[in-house]
Amino acid sequence: MLPRLGVTAALLAAGSLAFAADPAPLTPAQLGNAIKSDTLTIPTPGELFAALTKPGSPNWAGQYRGPIPMTFSNRAQIALNLGGLIADGFIAIEAQDSQQVKNIGTDIIKLAKALGVSENVLSRGKSINEFAENSEWSALQEELEATQNEVKSSMQSNRDQDFVILVSLGGWVRGTQVVSGSIQNDYNEATARVLRQPALVSFMQAKVKDISPELREEPLVQAVSAQLSDIQKLVTFPNGGTPTAEDVAKLNAAVSKLMEEIQRKVDAK
């Protein structure tokens, strides 16, 4: 069960994130009303993965990555990596891998705690373990979505909206890495259209520019912002064209490079 959508749904319907069968675009008035109803439109990893509608089942376990550091000292880097870990949790659920879900759930709670989120978030670690132990996959997906929403809600109450943006962005980067990697391994024109996201990337660039000046000066945030400009070109196709296998490979390389930079441990000065 996917979370209810606000502006994300408007962007999907308008064709910024196109699926195999492009839906009718919203009118300017409908889009405007949707934008007023929400604060963030970056798709969750679960939404991105649901777009993989090609025949057969993707090799989710083939999209696993190695463990990432758990001792980041920079809050911006923690937030970006927390978003990536949440995406990893959705991958493990899709793969129906109980042990991987438990491992990632533990890491999610560690990074969430480092950001100073509420006890409500931390208490969800036990639920994730219990659902994984009993292979309750639907309940697990709902619990992971609830954990993600709880993280954002807790940070918003602490006036940490800037970090909410970074958590969502980190999840999108990792999610796009997985989706593009899956499509690259088994190219399908219809499914490749999910990577056509120019308006969405523009939106993310604008959100990064809206964060506090102090946070924008962080080297990692600057690097993410700069690389989003390059990624923008890779998800834009003239006249609504379909990404070729080569286009998909280029996008995967770009988001993989960005993900590596996000998870790279830098010694504190």
Task: List pLDDT tens digits, range 170-187.
Answer: 999 999 999 999 999 989
Asked if residue 13 lies in contact with residue 23, where contact means CB atoms within 8 angstroms, the answer is yes
| Encoded tokens for 251 | 């996008």
Confidence of residue 118 (pLDDT cuts 50, 70, 90): low
Task: List pLDDT tens digits, range 148-170.
Answer: 888 888 887 767 889 989 999 99
Domain positions in the chain: 7-263
Top pLDDT among 247 and 28 is at 247
3-state secondary structure of 260: helix
pLDDT at 12 over 60: no
Compute how many other C-beta atoms are within 10 angstroms of the C-beta atom of residue 175.
27
> Which pLDDT value is given to residue 40?
40
17-26 average pLDDT score: 36
